[in-house]
């Protein structure tokens, strides 16, 4: 398992650097802007990932928060199990993150519903009552035109950023306290971050308007910043992932 050890050590050394996590947030902002410009030029041809029903979107992105919790929950337990109080505090950060995810996604849906109108083909418009919500509009074969803040831009950036924060303590895990399950779980978290980044790029290039993507991205970055950079450093909070004091000052 030497290859696994080397991979884990290399990735852990990368994510321990706080500035790298800041760069990731700036990367999402940059891709949102550049991807929107590429979308505007219409120079990128249609690909497998321009189809909303592609496998990665259907089986990963559509349930991205489930994947994030599925991998992060055992990882936090593995890296903080020696201190039950600390472990419970750290797990409460996932409760906070889930509340953020739920509140924001519901708000996006409400805004889209409140700002939109239904357009149905002229041939089908006769004898039809107005459709005042997205579901009835689509069931009638219509197209809903509302301000649809990009849920993909939000959840992919937010999930990747909190995973990056939670992976940081891996560098402090003594090898004798690590095991194959933990190492493979850590590598899986890194793979899921790569998938989220790639699908964020695809969203930026193929879908939504520029304001919808930019706002979704900003709203993905904002709660990460407010929690991990401000609130979690305070006493009455879930607390930050474990880092020795001297390492925290260097990060």
Assign 127 to helix, strand or coil.
coil
pLDDT tens-place string over residues 107-154: 998 998 888 788 776 655 444 556 667 777 777 777 788 788 999 999
Where are the chain's structural domains? 1-45+57-113+151-250
Residues 153-166, mean pLDDT to the nearest whole number: 96
The catalytic site residues sit at 152, 208
- The H-assigned helical ranges of 116-231 are 122-125, 134-139, 151-167, 180-206, 210-224
Query: In this structure, is the dihedral angle defined by the CA atoms of residues 183, 223, 69 and 157, taken in order, positive or negative?
Result: negative
CA distance linking residue 44 with residue 63, whole number of Å: 27
pLDDT tens-place string over residues 182-238: 889 999 999 999 999 999 999 999 988 899 999 999 999 999 999 999 999 998 899
* Pairing outcome for strands 143-145 and 117-119: antiparallel
pLDDT tens-place string over residues 21-64: 999 999 999 999 999 898 888 888 888 888 888 989 899 999 99
Query: Could you give phi then psi for residue 14, rounded to 5 degrees?
Result: -70, -50
Determine contact, residues 20/190, Cβ cutoff 8 Å.
no
Determine contact, residues 10/4, Cβ cutoff 8 Å.
no
Here the tokens at position 86 are 């600390």
């Amino acid at each position: 398992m030497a290859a696994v050890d080397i991979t884990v050590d290399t990735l852990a050394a990368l994510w321990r650097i706080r500035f790298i996590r800041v760069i990731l947030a700036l990367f999402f902002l940059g891709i949102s802007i550049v991807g929107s410009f590429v979308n505007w030029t219409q120079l990128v041809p249609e690909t497998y990932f321009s189809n909303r029903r592609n496998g990665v979107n259907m089986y990963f992105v559509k349930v991205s928060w489930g994947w994030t919790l599925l991998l992060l929950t055992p990882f936090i337990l593995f890296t903080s199990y020696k201190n039950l109080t600390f472990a419970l505090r750290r797990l409460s950060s996932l409760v906070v993150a889930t509340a953020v995810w739920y509140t924001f996604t519901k708000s996006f849906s409400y805004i889209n519903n409140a700002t939109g109108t239904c357009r149905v083909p002229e041939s089908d418009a006769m004898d039809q009552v107005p459709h005042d919500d997205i579901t009835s509009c689509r069931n009638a074969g219509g197209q809903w035109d509302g301000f649809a803040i990009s849920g993909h831009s939000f959840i992919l950036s937010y999930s990747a950023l909190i995973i990056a924060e939670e992976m940081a303590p891996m560098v402090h895990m003594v090898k004798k306290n690590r095991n194959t399950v933990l190492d493979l779980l850590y590598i899986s978290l890194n793979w899921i971050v790569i998938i989220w980044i790639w699908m964020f790029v695809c969203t930026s290039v193929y879908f939504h308007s520029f304001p919808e993507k930019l706002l979704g991205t900003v709203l993905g970055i904002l709660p990460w910043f407010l929690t991990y950079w401000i609130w979690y450093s305070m006493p009455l909070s879930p607390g930050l992932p474990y880092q020795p004091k001297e390492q925290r000052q260097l990060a």
